[in-house]
Amino acid sequence: MTVSTPPRAASPAPALGYLAGIGTVFGMEIRQRVRNRGWYIMLGIWFVVVAAVVGLAALSAGQNEFGPGQVMFELVIAFVLFFGMLIAPALSANSITGDRANGTLAILQNTLLTPGQLLWGKWLASWAASLGFLVVTLPLIGWAMTYGDVYLPAAPVLLGMLALQLAVVCALGVGVSALANRTLFAVMVTYLLVALLGIGTLVAYGLSLQLVKTEVQLSNQVWPDEYMTENSYVEWDGDNYTCDTRTYTQETFATERITWLLAANPFVVVADAAPRGPATEGPSMFAATGPMGAISDGVRFSQAGPAYQMPCLNGVKTTGLPPIPAPLWPLGLGIQVLLAGGILVAGRSRLKTPAGRLASGTRIA
Q: Is the pTM of this model over 0.85?
A: no
Separation CA 344–CA 96 (nearest Å): 12
Neighbours of 263 (CB within 10 A): 21
Torsion of CA 300, 306, 312, 313, to 10 degrees: -140
CA–CA gap between residue 290 and residue 75 (Å, rounded):
7
List the chain pLDDT tens, one digit each, 365 residues: 455 555 555 555 555 677 888 888 888 888 887 777 777 888 888 888 888 887 887 777 655 555 677 888 888 888 889 988 888 888 888 888 887 777 777 677 777 788 888 889 899 999 998 898 888 888 888 887 887 777 888 889 999 999 999 999 999 999 999 888 888 888 999 999 999 999 999 999 999 999 988 877 777 767 676 666 665 565 655 566 778 777 788 888 888 889 999 999 999 999 999 886 654 344 444 444 678 888 988 888 888 887 777 777 776 777 655 566 788 999 999 999 999 999 999 988 888 765 556 555 555 54
**Residues sharing a CB contact under 8 Å with residue 22, sequence separation 6 or more, in sequence order:** 117, 120, 121, 124
Sheet of 213-222, strands arranged across = 242-253, 213-222, 312-313, 316-317
Query: Cβ(95)–Cβ(29) under 8 Å?
Result: yes
- Which helix (H) or strand (E) segment is 242 a member of? strand 242-253
C-beta separation of 291 from 74 below 8 A: yes
Rounded CA separation 262/265 (Å): 5
Q: How far, in whole angstroms, is CA 33 from its chain's centroid?
A: 23
Q: What is the pLDDT of residue 19?
A: 84
Say whether 247 sits in a helix, a strand or coil. Answer: strand
pLDDT of residue 283: 40
- Peptide linkage before 7 cis (omega within 30 of 0): no
Q: Is 213 helix (H, G, I), strand (E, B) or coil?
A: strand
**Residues 243/222, Cβ–Cβ less than 8 Å:** yes
Sequence-separated contacts (24+) of 197-200 with Cβ below 8 Å: 197/264, 197/265, 197/266, 197/336, 198/85, 198/265, 198/266, 198/267
Closest C-alpha to 89, from 182, 180, 198, 166: 166
From 120, 123, 70, select the one nearest 93 (Cα to Cα).
123
**How far, in Å, CA of 350 to CA of 29, rounded?**
20
Report the alpha-carbon distance of residue 333 to residue 230 in Å, rounded: 53
Rounded Cα distance between 294 and 286, Å, is 10
Q: How far apart are CA 135 and CA 274, in angstroms?
A: 20
d(CA 173, CA 241): 54
Phi and psi (nearest 5°) for 251?
A: -80, 140
> Distance between CA atoms of 299 and 272, rounded to whole angstroms?
8
Q: Cα separations (Å) of 153 from 149, 281, 325?
A: 12, 14, 20
Q: Name every residue whose Cβ is closer than 8 Å to that of residue 339 and which is 6 or more positions away in sequence.
A: 172, 193
Q: Which residues contact 358 (CB under 8 A, 6 or more apart)?
A: 364
Rg (CA), the chain: 27
For the chain, domain boundaries: 18-207+330-350, 208-228+238-317
323: cis peptide before it, omega within 30°?
Answer: no
